[in-house]
Structures are given as structure tokens and as C-alpha cells.
Structure 1
Amino acid sequence: MVGVRVLDPSASPLDYYGYELRRLREAAGLKQAQLGEIIYCTGSLVGMIENTKRVPTRDFSERVDAALGTDGHFSRLVGLVLRSQLPTWFQAYAEMEARASYISTFHAQLVYGLLQTEEYARAVLGVRSDGDLDAKVAARMERQRILDRENPPVTWVVLSEAVLHQEVGGRQVMRNQLAHLLDLQRREWVQLQILPFEAGAHAGQMGEFTLLRFDDDPDIVYTEDFVQGHMTANPPALREGSLRYDHLQAAALSLDGSAALIARVMEERYGDHPEPDGRALA
């Protein structure tokens, strides 16, 4: 059994979650092992989450709500907990991203975070991970929930063709990731274009960027480097970002042409071909 840690519920969203889980579990007259049995996990896991040694998942939170009859309390709270696992400098952007009504973004090296599969995200985040990798992956998956809400933002993504060829996580991970991009293109509110190698010099060579548009707030342009992110509502910066994005869209393949290229790369580069040891890759 995990030792009891005295929590300050005001210290962080994770501390508040652990405090509430312990309080409401005890109010229900359940020991950690008993709650664990009800929600199909170990009592040790319950204890670690109560003591902030593990970050809860959304699935865990939904099961706890069902078991304790807490009317979605933990399912609502887990969103704050997972957002707090994002890098401090990125949290403000994630909040604005979740509020945006229109997202336009260009990426030259990796799939945009909202479109990543869990396995692809794990490979990306695992390159340099100085914390809980599971928590970081869960936080990235949590961001993607905005695409599943009743009124999702219109999300228009331009990816360099290089993104399709940069093998992240292995061939099977990449095949699943490209298949996921094709599935996402079937959503009314997600539009994806590929900027082909043949486009040559292009308007995105200065770096990746994202434009966020809002119904009731000023638009924002976001860029980042390897240290931190930068958001600005400066009108000249917005005009420059919008002009560059227009040029990228014009240089990119059509939506149908982009889908065809993704499908071709998926089959030719990551298809059912033998691995070096002779095994076939499904």
C-alpha cells in the first residue's frame, strides 16, 4: 500500500485531483484496493494517483466517476490535470488553441500535434523526456479532444512532404499515422494539404507557425523555437503570417492530390514489405 501523503489541494491541479480522489473514496467507505477492484485497476495505482505519484488518465477518471457517482467531477478535473503536464511555456497557447474557431498551421518536420496518433506522439515526445512520458502523451491526446466536440474549430493544416518521409517510431507507426491523416481528411472540419518537394523555395522556409482565429477575440499568430513559444496579436505580424499561409496553400497540392500523395507514400514507403531480417511488416 502506498504511504499516505498530506496534500495541499491548492498546490496544483494534480494535488487537487489526488486530494479529491482520497476524500470522495473515503466518503464512500472504500479502501484503495476496493475502489481499484471496482474500476479494474490495482489499489496501488489508486494510491499513487492519490499521492500524485502518477497522473490520472481520462479513462481512469470516467471509471472513478461511475464508481463513486460523482457526476463527472473527475472527468472534468482531469482536463486541467493533463493540461498542467504540458510545458509551462506551452500552456497559454494550448488554452488559446482550445478556444479558437479557426486554426491554420504549417509544419515542415512533424505531424501537427492535434493530428498525431498516440504511438507517433510517444515517439516524438520520447526523444528527450525528462519527466513522465505517459503523462506527456496523455496531455497531447487530451489536446485533440477539441476536434471531437460538438462545434470543433475549422482546422486547416499544410504539411511539408518531408513530414511523410521522416520516419518517426518505425514503419508501422508511420503507416498508422498516415492512415490516420487520411481518416481525418474525411471530417468536414479538418482540411489537410501537402506541400510537395516540387514546390521548391516556399513561404514557410522561415519556420513553422500557426494562426488562431476567434469569434470574439483578436487573432493570434504563434511560433516557437526549441526553448519556448511566442504568441502575438500584433497586426503586422498577423498580416505577414496570413500572407505566408495564403502562399503555402496556393503552392500545396489540392485536398484530393494531397490525399493521393499520402496514400502513395503510405504504401510505397511503409507498406507490406520485408524488414531487413526477412519479416514482413503488416
Structure 2
Amino acid sequence: MTPPVDPSLNRRKLRIALRKARERSGLSQREAAERVEWSQSKLIRVETGTVSVSVSDLRALLALYGVAEPDTVHELEEAARGSKGASWWSSYHDVVSPQFAQYLGYEGAARAVDTYHPIVVPGHLQTRAYAEALLAERGLAAERVRRVVDLRMERQQRMFGGPGRPTATFVLDEAAVRRQIGGRGAFRAQLEQVLDFAGRDEVTVRVLPFDAGAHYSTLGSFVLLRFSDDDDLLYLEHAAGSMTGGEDLELLAHYQECFQTLMERALDENASLDLINRVKQSL
């Protein structure tokens, strides 16, 4: 059974369509808000996808922007009806920060996800046992560990098991491939899962060897999200998490260039999987 479209994706569709329609009409956010007798902050929230949009509000904006093509109007009205309600991660509100919640909404809409981690296997690829062992060392309460791991497993299932799967490229540092987390058995199972994911058409796994040298993101992990209908986004994974896109093009460009450097210095796919398999066999 195909799961329903998450409300965040409908809000994103409306955000992009309404922003583009307003820009084509030549109106600023302030001018558009005044024409429909809204506060500017309400229009800003609609254009950032942080709130749902009622059908009546949508129709007011479409009329103002001169959008009248029946199929387009119908599609956007359906998106408005589907923009209400909680996103799938809302049930994990106790362990999801606002920044990460925003990131999850974007990740679900990305056509491509490029990830680098210098220390551990990225969360997208982790087994339950590996994730539990990793989090246990942070001194978290057992219930919080369970909740975070449940979130991680559901995110993984949605990313790799549902329709519209993104192209995913993972660059793992050799340290992540060799660091035994959770004991030999758990780590062996983790490497087996990485190899299983790497066998999928939409997934690429590369290993950055120890002799690759320094690069722009030597000390930190990051994710680049690419879209077919919007600008790329960068998510820096640290304690608070942070996301940047069009508001910091220079930083985004640095990390795009960094990922290209990582791909150039990493082992090719066959050599990468051979290394992972050899480490797994040694366990």
C-alpha cells in the first residue's frame, strides 16, 4: 500500500508554486500581502512552507497572481487540502529539534542526497544494534535511546522503502568502516547492511581511504540535498544542526566542491565494496 503524501511535501509544493507565481506577477511579499489583506508574516510562513494553506486562501493568491489554468489550479487545491495535519516525524517531537524537523521535510522531497561522515556509518545506513551502541555512549536514558533509534529506523524505511526514492551517495571515511561499534558481531552486521544497500540501483557507497589527505570537511559530517524544482540545500550535522541554501551561497558552494573532491579521492565503487567486505570478513 502506497503511504499518503506527507503534509510537509504538499506545503513544499505550495511554497514553491506560490513564490514563483508571485515573482512572475512582479509583486513583492509586502505588496501581495496587502492586496489580499494578510499580514506579511502570514505570507512569509506560506512561502517558507511552515504552515498549511486553506483552499480559500490559496484561491485568493492564485487570483491575485493570475494563475487560472484549470489543471494547475486543481493540483494546487489538492495540495492545499493535503497540507494540513502532522508530518510523520511529529510523533517523535520529544527527540526531534526544530532544525532537524525542517531538514526531514526537505530530505523527503530531495531527488538526490549526498552524505559524508568522517567517523561513523551515517544514520541513513545504520542497523538498530549499531545505532543503539553508538547512542549508549552518550549517556542518554534508555527510553530516549529507543526513541531516537525508532526515528532513525523509520526515516531509513521511508527513504529507501517508499516510492520516489532519491538517488543517494554516501562517502564513508575508512575510519567509519573500521571502527568497531557494538562489538564484532554487531559491527559485522552493520557492514553487511552497508553492502546490501550499496547493491541497490539508487545507492552508491564510496570509501575515502586514510591516505586521501585533508579536505574542507575533515572535521565534520554534512549532507547535500539536491532538488529538481528548487535550490540545493546543505545540512551540517553537529549538536544543534544547521541548514543553509540560497541565503549562504558561498558556504553551499564550498561544500559542493568538497563533495566533488571527496568523490575524486575516494576509492571507486568496486574497490570501496571490496574494502568493506574484507573488513567484514576479518570480523
Name the TM tier (shorter chain).
0.5 to 0.7
Contact persistence 1:221–1:231 (CA under 8 A): yes
* Matched AA of 1:197: F
Contact persistence 2:89–2:151 (CA under 8 A): no
Q: TM-score, normalised by structure 2?
A: 0.64
CA–CA distance in 2 between the matches of 1:257 and 1:176?
Answer: 20
- Pair 138,82 (structure 1): closer, same or farther in 2 beyond 3 Å: farther
Shift in Å at residue 132 of structure 1?
2.7
- Pair 248,175 (structure 1): closer, same or farther in 2 beyond 3 Å: same
Counterpart of 2:127 (choices 102, 106, 117) is 117
Contact persistence 1:103–1:213 (CA under 8 A): yes
Superposed, which structure 2 residues align to 1:122-137 within 5 Å?
122-128=132-138, 129-130=140-141, 131-137=143-149
- Pair 119,78 (structure 1): closer, same or farther in 2 beyond 3 Å: farther
Question: Structure 1: any 5+ residue segments left out of the alignment?
Answer: 1-75, 271-282
- Pair 86,101 (structure 1): closer, same or farther in 2 beyond 3 Å: farther
Residue 230 of structure 2 is aligned to residue 217 of structure 1:
yes
Contact persistence 1:105–1:158 (CA under 8 A): yes
* Matched AA of 1:238: L
CA–CA distance in 2 between the matches of 1:157 and 1:189?
Answer: 11
User: Residue in 2 aligned with 1:250?
Assistant: 264
- Pair 120,132 (structure 1): closer, same or farther in 2 beyond 3 Å: same
3-state SS of the aligned residue for 1:163?
helix
Counterpart of 1:99 (choices 98, 104, 109) is 109
* Matched AA of 1:111: V
Superposed, which structure 2 residues align to 1:26-37 within 5 Å?
none
* Matched AA of 2:241: G
Shift in Å at residue 108 of structure 1?
0.6
User: Residue in 1 aligned with 2:150?
Assistant: 138
* Matched AA of 1:193: R
3-state SS of the aligned residue for 2:108?
helix
- Pair 241,267 (structure 1): closer, same or farther in 2 beyond 3 Å: same
Shift in Å at residue 224 of structure 1?
2.9
CA–CA distance in 2 between the matches of 1:110 and 1:137?
Answer: 15
* Matched AA of 2:274: A
Contact persistence 1:85–1:139 (CA under 8 A): no
The answer to which structure, 1 or 2, has the higher relative contact order (CA under 8 A, 6+ apart) is: 2
**Cα deviations by residue, 1:13-50 (Å, 9 ceiling, x for unpaired):** xxxxxxxxxxxxxxxxxxxxxxxxxxxxxxxxxxxxxx
**Cα deviations by residue, 1:160-196 (Å, 9 ceiling, x for unpaired):** 0000111111111100000001111110111000001
CA–CA distance in 2 between the matches of 1:235 and 1:139?
Answer: 31
Superposed, which structure 2 residues align to 1:30-109 within 5 Å?
79-88=88-97, 89-109=99-119
3-state SS of the aligned residue for 1:132?
helix
Q: TM-score, normalised by structure 1?
A: 0.64
User: Residue in 1 aligned with 2:170?
Assistant: 157
Counterpart of 1:169 (choices 152, 159, 182) is 182
3-state SS of the aligned residue for 1:138?
helix
CA–CA distance in 2 between the matches of 1:121 and 1:82?
Answer: 20
Shift in Å at residue 203 of structure 1?
3.8
CA–CA distance in 2 between the matches of 1:114 and 1:135?
Answer: 16
**Cα deviations by residue, 1:228-275 (Å, 9 ceiling, x for unpaired):** 01101122122111111000000000011100000001112x2xxxxx
Residue 261 of structure 2 is aligned to residue 261 of structure 1:
no
CA RMSD, Structure 1 to Structure 2 (Å): 1.9
Shift in Å at residue 86 of structure 1?
3.3
Residue 249 of structure 2 is aligned to residue 235 of structure 1:
yes
* Matched AA of 1:87: V
Q: Percent identity?
A: 35
User: Residue in 2 aligned with 1:3?
Assistant: none
